[in-house]
Amino acid sequence: MVSATRSLLCAALPVLATSRQATGAPVANELRCQCLQTVAGIHFKNIQSLKVMPPGPHCTQTEVIATLKNGREACLDPEAPMVQKIVQKMLKGVPK
């Protein structure tokens, strides 16, 4: 019994070390542009959430990424009037 618990303790320590290392790893932002192509607009009712990223050191252009209700992501053209309307509609909380 004593030897069994000792072997279990020895086996547990490496697992602890591994999980702690994984936890401590910093989550880096994307270091590049995420949108290669953009669409001018998609149907408002399909959008679940919207991510708006201003230009920065990682990317020189504004990026708008919509997460659809089916889980997919789509890049929208931030300059398209349709996209700006969609964003304003989102902020107003317009339901379906």
Interacting residue ranges for other proteins, rule: CB under 8 A: 1-2, 5-6, 8-9, 12-13, 15-16, 19-20, 22-23, 27, 29, 47-56, 61-62, 64, 78-79, 83-84, 87-88, 90-93, 95
Task: Return the half-sphere exposure (C-beta side, CA atoms, 13 A cut-off) of residue 16.
Answer: 6
Q: Find the shortest distance in angstroms from Cβ 66 to other proteins.
A: 10
Is residue 23 left, alpha or beta, with left meaning phi > 0 and alpha meaning psi from -120 to 50? alpha
> Apex CA 50: angle with CA 44 and CA 54, to 5°?
130
Q: Find the shortest distance in angstroms from Cβ 86 to other proteins.
A: 10
Q: Find the shortest distance in angstroms from Cβ 2 to other proteins.
A: 6
